Amino acid sequence: MIENPSALCRYLSHGVYVIGVAAGERRNAFTAAWVMQVSFNPLMLAISINPAHYSYQLLHRGAVCTVNVLGQHQYGIAEHFGRSGLTDKMSGFNWRTDRTGAPILSESLAYFDCQVAHYTDAGDHKIAVCKVVATGRLHEGMPLLYSQTGNMDGSDKLYRGDT
Ligand SMILES: Cc1cc2nc3c(=O)[nH]c(=O)nc-3n(C[C@H](O)[C@H](O)[C@H](O)COP(=O)(O)O)c2cc1C
């Protein structure tokens, strides 16, 4: 039996990132915590994404993304990009691009510019395994931690077998 998974999974350490995606002229960004380094050489990151997200359509079509590291003071940004169905979700923020053309959040601590190498199924998510093709350090600061966001993502009600 899996007991109280929503509380137990909060012991797993994650950062909080804004993932920028682009396909042609269309761009979007969403908050993600399930991001990890999976290779040294080449440098690769894995991102777990719900395929129901609008961002997944763009990621799948464009095959490029950025991982933007949020700082301790950027709780509000995590909340903003964690919402779906916003019209003009990208406006009000400064964006730049590097090699892939995927949007980089200028106020993030650091970014990883990535090309999707392949996908793996993972239950109700897809894992995008991505090759890092460029990086940048933009601001000093300590990264925001997923454990500090409480139930911002509403995940408490997404677990089953919680008895
Ligand atoms: C703190 C936090 C962490 C999140 N982590 C993930 C994640 O790792 N993977 C994911 O697919 N969605 C994650 N989400 C949910 C998405 O950010 C959210 O569903 C968003 O609205 C998707 O954007 P879109 O609909 O514009 O594509 C997270 C949300 C928050 C607030």
Worst-scoring range by mean pLDDT, 28-42, 67-81, 127-141, 146-160?
146-160
**Cβ atoms within 10 Å, residue 109:** 20
Looking at residue 1, its pLDDT comes to 81
CA separation for the pair 143, 107 (Å, rounded) = 13
Q: What residues does 67 pair with on adjacent strands?
A: 19, 112
- Whether 163 has a pLDDT exceeding 70, the answer reads no
Whole-angstrom distance, CA of residue 51 vs CA of residue 11: 25
Residue 65 has pLDDT above 50, yes or no: yes
User: Ligand 1 in contact with 26 (CB < 6 A)?
Assistant: no
Write down the pLDDT at residue 161.
57
95 lines ligand 1 (CB under 6 A): no
140 or 85, which is more confident? 140
Query: What's the CA-to-centroid distance between 19 and ligand 1, angstroms?
Result: 9
Residue 136 C-alpha to ligand 1 middle, in angstroms?
Answer: 23
Task: Name the class of domain 17-151.
Answer: mainly beta
At 119, is the secondary structure helix, strand, or coil?
Answer: strand
Instruction: Please give the model's pTM, rounded to 2 decimal places.
Output: 0.97
Share of the chain above pLDDT 90, in %: 89
* Separation of alpha carbons 8 and 10, rounded Å: 5
Which atom from ligand 1 is nearest to the alpha carbon of 29?
A: 26
Indicate if ligand 1 lies below 6 Å from the C-beta of 66.
no
The number of beta carbons lying within 10 Å of the beta carbon of residue 23 is 17
> 112 is written with which tokens?
């990883």
23 vs 29: CA distance, rounded Å: 12
Predicted local confidence at residue 162, as pLDDT: 46
Residue range 3-57, pLDDT digits in tens? 889 889 989 999 999 999 999 999 999 999 999 999 999 999 999 999 999 999 9
Q: Give pLDDT tens digits for 92-112.
A: 999 999 999 999 999 999 999
Nearest atom in ligand 1 to 125's CA: 11
> What are the structural domain ranges in the chain?
17-151
- pLDDT recorded at residue 2: 85
- Atom of ligand 1 at shortest range from CA of 79: 31
Task: Tell me, using a 6 A CB cutoff, whether residue 75 lines ligand 1.
Answer: no
Lowest-pLDDT range of 32-41, 49-58, 114-123, 148-157: 148-157
Cis-peptide, bond into residue 143, ω within 30° of zero: no
**Does the beta carbon of 77 lie inside 6 Å of ligand 1?**
no
